[in-house]
């Protein structure tokens, strides 16, 4: 599907949260308690966060990218730069914060259980969006503001300002969220107010259902009605295209009318007539052997961004997103599809 002739186009800028993921397996979560020694599996250390994951997926798909994130002046920060360089990703847009350490996550995998994350946001809290270079960027994707406290002041004013500047440059904007820890400081923020303030400047909004329900404090199981209602509310708040992923239940895409899409930067505007009003459920692609679930949502977002960048239809975009996520989970190169 992706082996198509792509004309020379500007790059995609990926900004936001970046960290180091230290992953391992654990047999019994109940053994974690003060004073206990709990045996775990081998550790793997890899780049994590939206900037690394979405940037890597886009690069594999053949999209030129620029990256913008904040790291500390420490060993983990140097590891971030080394890993990005090794993966062929640019590092010029990284901000080195003198105020905090590099962000990291400890990811615990249990048999038959969802992952558990122990996370330190670190330098992400001091990311300065005004330093992001958007020259020649056709799309800018921002990920995980819930893990970047500085972007949420004043009802998300810094985030909105960033997207407004992007629109003034003719750049199409994209936003992804992360699940919110109910015990964290950001959980107490007015997330409905933040979304109402920011989404009018967001052309593609690609959160997971868990991202949204944790932000809006919705305690309800999956249902198509719930997903469709949340997507409609996000469009009503001003988003151009909303794509809510729901794991094994698939993804739902809802697009606004042509008038709204035509205001979505040059890249989305040229697709306004073909994307207007689209409502579509996309089933997930089957994955025979799961190598990882870390970054699957970011790969799905990358698939959507790639589709916009290359001028696909909305139906093609949904299929591309599903294949991108499944291929990432299988551990196979995205470029082979």
pLDDT digits (tens, 9 = 90+) for 44-56: 999 999 999 999 9
Residue 333: predicted pLDDT: 67
Structure tokens at 141: 């994707």
Residue 329 has pLDDT above 70, yes or no: yes
Instruction: Characterize the bridge pairing of strands 44-48 and 104-109.
Output: unpaired
Residue 302 has pLDDT above 60, yes or no: yes
pLDDT for res 6: 38
Please state, in angstroms and rounded to a whole number, the distance separating the CA atoms of residues 137 and 13. 6
Q: What is the separation, in whole angstroms, between the first and last Cα of the chain?
A: 6
Percentage of residues in the chain having pLDDT higher than 90: 82
Q: Given this model, what pLDDT does residue 27 score?
A: 84
Length of the chain counted residue by residue:
337
**Which of 131, 189, 187, 157 lies closest to 15, judged by CA?**
131
User: Would you say residue 294 has pLDDT above 70?
Assistant: yes
99 neighbors 16 (Cβ within 8 angstroms): no
In angstroms, what CA-CA distances link 166 with 47, 188, 263, 299, 332? 26, 29, 12, 23, 33
Which domains occur in the chain, in start order? 11-17+49-102+131-336 (3.40.1190.20)
User: According to the model, what pLDDT value does residue 5 have?
Assistant: 37
Question: Residue 330 has what pLDDT?
Answer: 83
| Confidence check: pLDDT of 76 > 80 | yes
Q: Distances in Å between the alpha carbon of 316 and those of 127, 304, 325?
A: 34, 9, 14
pTM: 0.92
CA proximity to 255, closest of 309, 318, 177, 181: 318
Q: CB of 273 within 8 A of CB of 258?
A: yes
**Res 174 pLDDT > 90:** yes
Question: What confidence tier does 115 reach under pLDDT thresholds 50, 70, 90?
Answer: confident
CB 326 within 8 A of CB 287: yes
User: Is 328 or 16 the better-scoring residue by pLDDT?
Assistant: 16
- Average pLDDT of the residues in 299-325: 97
**Residue 135: pLDDT above 80?**
yes
pLDDT at position 335, please? 56
Residue 125's alpha-carbon distances to 16, 98, 121, 161, in angstroms, are 10, 12, 7, 17
- Asked if residue 1 has pLDDT above 70, the reply is no
């Amino acid at each position: 599907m992706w082996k198509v002739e792509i004309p020379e186009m500007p790059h995609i800028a990926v900004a936001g949260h970046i960290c180091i993921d230290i992953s391992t397996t654990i047999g019994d979560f109940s053994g974690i308690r003060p004073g206990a020694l709990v045996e775990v599996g081998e550790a793997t250390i890899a780049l994590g966060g939206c900037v690394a994951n979405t940037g890597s997926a886009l690069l594999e798909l053949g999209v030129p990218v620029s990256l913008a994130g904040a790291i500390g002046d420490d060993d983990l920060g140097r590891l971030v730069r080394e890993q990005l360089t090794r993966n062929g990703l640019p590092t010029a847009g990284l901000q080195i914060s003198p105020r905090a350490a590099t962000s990291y996550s400890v990811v615990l995998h249990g048999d038959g259980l969802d992952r558990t994350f122990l996370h330190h946001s670190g330098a992400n809290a001091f990311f300065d969006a005004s330093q992001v270079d958007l020259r020649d960027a056709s799309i800018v994707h921002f990920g995980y503001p819930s893990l970047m406290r500085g972007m949420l002041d004043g009802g998300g004013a810094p985030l909105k300002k960033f997207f407004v500047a992007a629109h003034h440059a003719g750049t199409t904007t994209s936003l992804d969220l992360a699940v919110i820890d109910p015990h964290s400081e950001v959980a107490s923020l007015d997330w409905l107010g933040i979304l109402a303030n920011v989404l009018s400047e967001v052309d593609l909004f690609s959160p997971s259902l868990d991202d949204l329900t944790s932000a809006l404090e919705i305690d309800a199981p999956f249902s198509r009605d719930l997903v469709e209602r949340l997507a409609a509310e996000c469009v009503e708040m001003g988003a151009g295209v909303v794509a809510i992923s729901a794991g094994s239940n698939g993804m739902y895409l809802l697009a606004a009318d042509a008038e709204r899409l035509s205001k979505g930067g040059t890249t989305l505007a040229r697709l306004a007539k073909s994307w207007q009003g689209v409502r579509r459920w996309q089933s997930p692609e089957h994955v025979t052997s799961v190598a990882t679930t870390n970054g699957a949502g970011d790969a799905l977002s990358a698939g959507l961004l790639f589709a916009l960048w290359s001028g696909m239809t909305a139906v093609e975009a949904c299929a591309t997103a599903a294949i991108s996520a499944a291929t990432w989970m299988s551990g196979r190169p995205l470029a082979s599809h």
